[in-house]
């Protein structure tokens, strides 16, 4: 469901640092409709009545013979000419293949050339069976050319006029075209000029079925790029009528073909995926009824009809079903917010209606026919036995996998745990499993009908698609079985487990399936099925984070898989084993298994898991082993594979999310922010805000927190919290991390009482779900203690912090590194209260714990070092203090929280002053003041102290000296 394979989703290992419990510090008028005549092909008449273009400008057609060569491409023939340019068939001598070369009309200025080059390069990154592939873009003279796949066939408009297909065949074509649009949208590309002329229908060749591809993304633009300046409203009204069917391509004009433009585009809004959907539905209506939905022989009439939603009614006697009309109605909504959320959602609705049984129509006919039907029965011959409808056996395959019985068993299993959040989680999980079941059935019917009904797909490809669906069914069944035997870890991770089920869109990716390793021989299939069933069960254990149980079963199963000598099954087994090893702490063995699985996949040509394995290696090396250079290297490999595959949105979102956390660990917060923001955009556009997006919000919030953008962090943590609550209910322990992080963001803004309230809710959740002896309870209790101190309630502060440390010591032992932060908090409280003697051993212990766990160069050492320096200064000890504080400043550069920087800089200023280096002392104090100002409300007291110090030490200071220890 999230774009991962079962193996990739099986386990993510321990929670990432960005998702752990964190610790403190650190949005006209009426018009008369113009009707041309009653022709079914009215728009052909519209086009005939419109005066041809007479403008003489740089874009006028040039009648010239085809050049011999464009760039490195040898021109074969002219394929066509249009408003945008000329298209040639050409030969690429370097890659030994025929291509299409489109030369865009007009003398391209430098800016225009750069824009067109960028847009074509964006398209070159997209590889999808329903999109014409762009290979190259270049400049020849003063014109831009684009090299693309040569599709031998015809465009949709000519195909409809020649074939006169029925609505079912038209919908088949539009579903394929819609998939191409959806793929472009998934990587942020907007077509901006979708119409029948830009849908190409390739000829069927041998066993290869006819392919439908969307072409001419020459107007496409990355969705996130700045919009071009829109024209003034009246400029459109003055435009010549011929432009009704001509693309607008001027850099300062609304871009697209007016007859297919959405209302918001006429108002000057930038095209987006919803305006593409609108054009898609205009084209669908046009091909269904042989007329466009909006009349208009002039630009003014057309614009008014579109903007006001004045639409032609469907022709009388049309056989187009009502559900399809309703779908068009929604896609043509004036308000883009009332359309489908995405092309994927529109296509899913088509699939849902097309798979509905039709028995109820017969029943309805009987109800209206009454006695007439009975009278006919007396004279009519006996009816033939009803034909068995093909491709309707999918539900039978889900019996015992996910049906009423297994749903009931799961509900009972969750209830038996008696967890306070079990009911909420079950409702969310069951709803998602129902949706997954529906999607599986739709995919099965589509795969089957493509071969047995529509005859556009080979039997071999059907077998591959069904095999893919069968593996997903196994995983679904294993998860349902685990739910029936639920315990606390299963319930806790249930939503994540459902959202990690295999992505069913992979089972419709015919291009990838055709290039996959051949299916096994019949003799092997039974043995493979047994291994696959057990692998599915193991993935369930991993999703519940039962690593030791999984490891005990994974090792012998991998050996059994290897003996079968069928790479795909052994690669899956290695991946599962590696995840079990990583979860159980055997990191070296896990690393070796992951790499072995990757090399075997590459050597055998089994490309499907390569990306999953690479992304897993990025997270494993970066998050679990903190080997950032290796993580980045694997990340570069994953990026290359993503680009080769056309950058599928969900896969790229996964990569960006994992890589973003690696960059957080490396301290490169700008890179991390950009990656996480893009991951969120892709994920939300593809599947909405789900639990994965909640995790991304949490990670991005951590970036904003570390860089001093506390209001942004507050918004992100609040949204992560809301999504988690919508998903899991108000009592789920997954609310604890965003609550604790939210408290930290509130604290940094000086909203102490709100922060305490958030931590109180954390503690209540922890007590209800984990108990008051759980180490996380101790961590949050310590956080709360320091928070009430900041709120001015010191009588509550020390007892809470001390009890938090005691709980952690009892649960984890006295040497665990998790103790360092709460101990440092207690030390900070003590020194601010003036109790230097109590603070000193606490700062030292926090320092020692972090050195033992992370070494001597970890940024977490900066504050304990500064704390120990403050102790020395309070005791009048100056020796070595300046050097220690300079070291603390160097360490904190990796994670430069402004409030913490202010503490260290100000302490250094005090030390420098006492050592006689007064000029540098004043400089450091001013730098501390700037950091405190950046830190905001949380550093108000410190800012006041620094301002006072600067006033006192600069108003009448004597000659400054330059020497420092």
Q: Which residues contact 201 (CB under 8 A, 6 or more apart)?
A: 153, 154, 155, 156, 159, 173, 210, 211, 212
Report the alpha-carbon distance of residue 465 to residue 467 in Å, rounded. Answer: 5
Six-digit token pair at 151? 């599709």
Cβ atoms 647, 640 nearer than 8 A: no
Residues 6+ apart with CB under 8 A from 870: 831, 839, 907
Of 505, 572, 583, 576, the residue nearest 130 (C-alpha): 505
Retrieve residue 32's tokens: 């008369």
3-state SS class at 898 = helix
- How far is the first Cα of the chain from the last one, in angstroms, to the nearest whole number? 61
Q: CB within 8 A of 495, min separation 6: which ones?
A: 425, 428, 429, 432, 691, 727, 728
Helix-helix angle 156-163:167-186, to 10 degrees: 170
Cα dihedral sign for 558, 561, 567, 572? negative
Task: Determine phi and psi for 334, rounding to 5 degrees.
Answer: -60, -45
Q: How far apart are CA 491 and CA 410, in angstroms?
A: 10
| Residue 859, both tokens | 């940024």
Question: CA-CA distance, 659 to 666, in Å (whole number)?
Answer: 10
Active-site residue flag, 424: no
Rounded CA separation 22/791 (Å):
19
Q: Which of 648, 580, 574 is nearest to 611 (CA)?
A: 648
Which entry of 19, 43, 46, 193 is annotated as an active-site residue? 193
Integer angstrom CA distances of residue 259 from 33, 47, 181, 303, 642:
15, 11, 19, 8, 36
CA distances from 82 to 245, 783, 940 (A): 11, 68, 66
- Rounded to whole angstroms, the Cα distance separating 20 from 24 reads 13
- Decide if 212 contacts 373 (C-beta within 8 A): no
The string of DSSP letters for 760-825 reads HHHHHHHHHHT-TTSHHHHHHHHHHHHHHHHTT-HHHHHHHHHHHHHHHHHHH-TT-GGGHHHHHH
Picking from 693, 601, 704, the residue whose alpha carbon sits closest to that of residue 656 is 693
Q: How far apart are CA 528 and CA 562, in angstroms?
A: 11
Q: Which residues are catalytic?
A: 193
């Amino acid at each position: 469901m999230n774009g991962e394979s079962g193996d990739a989703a099986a386990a993510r290992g321990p929670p990432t640092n960005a998702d752990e419990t964190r610790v403190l510090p650190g949005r006209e008028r009426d018009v008369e409709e113009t009707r041309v005549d009653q022709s079914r092909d009215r728009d052909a008449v519209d086009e005939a009545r419109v005066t041809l273009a007479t403008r003489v400008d740089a874009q006028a057609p040039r009648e010239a013979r085809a050049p011999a060569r464009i760039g490195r491409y040898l021109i074969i023939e002219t394929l066509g000419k249009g408003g945008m340019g000329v298209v040639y068939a050409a030969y690429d001598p370097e890659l030994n293949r025929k291509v299409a070369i489109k030369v865009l009309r007009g003398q391209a200025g430098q800016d225009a050339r750069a824009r067109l080059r960028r847009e074509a390069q964006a398209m070159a990154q997209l590889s999808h069976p329903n999109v014409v592939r762009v290979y190259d873009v270049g400049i020849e003279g003063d014109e831009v050319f684009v090299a693309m796949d040569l599709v031998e066939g015809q465009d949709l408009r000519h195909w409809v006029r020649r074939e006169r297909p029925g609505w079912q065949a038209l919908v088949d074509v539009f579903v394929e075209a819609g998939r191409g649009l959806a793929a472009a949208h998934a990587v942020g590309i907007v077509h901006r000029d979708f119409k029948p002329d830009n849908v190409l229908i390739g000829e069927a060749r041998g066993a290869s079925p006819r392919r439908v591809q969307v072409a001419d993304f020459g107007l496409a633009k990355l969705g996130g790029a700045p919009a071009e300046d829109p024209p003034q409203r009246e400029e459109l009204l003055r435009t010549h009528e011929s432009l009704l069917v001509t693309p607008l391509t001027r850099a300062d004009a609304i871009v697209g073909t007016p007859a297919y433009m959405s209302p918001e585009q006429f108002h000057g809004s930038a095209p987006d995926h919803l305006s593409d959907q609108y054009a898609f539905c205009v084209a669908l209506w046009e091909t269904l009824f042989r007329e466009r939905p909006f009349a208009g022989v002039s630009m003014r009439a057309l614009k008014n009809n579109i903007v006001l939603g004045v639409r032609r009614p469907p022709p009388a006697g049309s056989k187009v079903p009502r559900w399809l009309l309703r779908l068009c109605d929604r896609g043509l909504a004036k308000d883009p917010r009332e359309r489908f959320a995405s092309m994927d959602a529109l296509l899913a609705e088509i699939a849902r209606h097309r798979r509905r049984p039709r028995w109820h129509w017969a029943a309805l006919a009987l109800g209206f026919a009454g006695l007439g039907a009975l009278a006919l029965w007396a004279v009519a011959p006996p009816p033939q036995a009803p034909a068995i409808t093909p491709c309707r056996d999918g539900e039978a395959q889900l019996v015992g996998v996910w049906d009423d019985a297994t749903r009931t068993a799961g509900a009972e299993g969750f209830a038996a745990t008696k967890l306070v959040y079990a009911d909420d989680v079950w409702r969310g999980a069951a709803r998602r499993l129902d949706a997954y079941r529906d999607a599986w059935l739709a995919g099965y019917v589509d795969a089957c009908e493509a071969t047995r009904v529509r005859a556009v797909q080979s039997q071999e490809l059907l077998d591959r698609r069904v095999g893919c669906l069968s593996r997903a069914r196994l995983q679904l069944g294993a998860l349902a079985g685990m739910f029936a035997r639920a315990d606390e870890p299963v319930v806790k991770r249930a939503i994540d487990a459902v959202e990690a089920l295999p992505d069913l869109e992979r089972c419709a990716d015919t291009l990838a399936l055709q290039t996959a390793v051949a299916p096994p021989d019949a003799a092997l299939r039974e043995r493979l099925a047994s291994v696959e069933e057990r692998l599915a069960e193991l993935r369930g254990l991993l999703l519940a984070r039962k690593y030791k149980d999984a490891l005990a079963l994974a090792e012998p199963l991998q050996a059994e898989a290897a003996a079968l000598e069928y790479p795909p099954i052994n690669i899956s087994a290695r991946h599962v084993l590696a995840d079990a090893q990583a979860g159980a702490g055997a990191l070296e063995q896990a690393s070796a298994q992951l790499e072995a699985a990757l090399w075997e996949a590459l050597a055998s040509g089994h490309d499907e898991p390569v990306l999953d394995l690479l992304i897993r290696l990025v997270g494993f090396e970066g998050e679990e082993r903190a080997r950032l250079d290796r993580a980045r290297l694997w990340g570069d490999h994953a990026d290359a594979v993503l680009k080769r595959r056309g950058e599928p949105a969900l896969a790229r979102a996964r990569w960006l999310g994992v890589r973003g956390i690696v960059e957080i660990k490396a301290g490169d917060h700008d890179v991390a922010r950009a990656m996480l923001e893009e991951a969120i955009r892709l994920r939300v556009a593809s599947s909405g805000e789900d639990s994965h997006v909640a995790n991304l919000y949490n990670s991005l919030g951590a970036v904003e927190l570390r860089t001093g953008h506390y209001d942004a962090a507050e918004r992100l943590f609040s949204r992560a919290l809301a999504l988690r609550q919508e998903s899991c209910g108000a009592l789920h322990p997954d609310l604890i991390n965003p609550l604790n992080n939210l408290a930290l963001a509130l604290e940094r803004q000086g909203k102490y009482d709100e922060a305490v309230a958030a931590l109180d809710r954390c503690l209540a959740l922890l007590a209800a779900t984990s108990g008051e002896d759980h180490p996380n309870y101790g961590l949050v209790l310590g956080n709360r203690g320091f928070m009430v101190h900041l709120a001015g309630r010191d009588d509550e502060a020390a007892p809470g912090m001390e009890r938090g440390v005691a709980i952690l010591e009892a649960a984890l032992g006295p040497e665990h590194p998790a103790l360092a932060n709460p101990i440092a908090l207690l030390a900070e409280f003590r020194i601010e209260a003036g109790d230097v003697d109590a603070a000193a051993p606490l700062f030292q212990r926090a320092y020692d714990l972090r050195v033992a766990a992370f070494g001597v160069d970890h940024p977490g050492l900066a504050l304990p070092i500064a704390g120990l320096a403050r102790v020395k200064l309070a005791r009048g000890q100056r020796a070595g203090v300046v050097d220690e504080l300079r070291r603390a400043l160097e360490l904190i550069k990796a994670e430069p929280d402004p409030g913490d920087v202010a503490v260290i800089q100000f302490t250094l200023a005090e030390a420098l002053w006492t050592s006689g280096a007064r000029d540098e002392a004043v400089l450091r104090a001013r730098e501390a003041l700037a950091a405190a100002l950046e830190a905001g409300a949380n550093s108000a007291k410190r800012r006041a102290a620094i301002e006072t110090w600067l006033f006192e030490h600069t108003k009448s200071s004597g000659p400054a000296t330059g020497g420092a220890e």
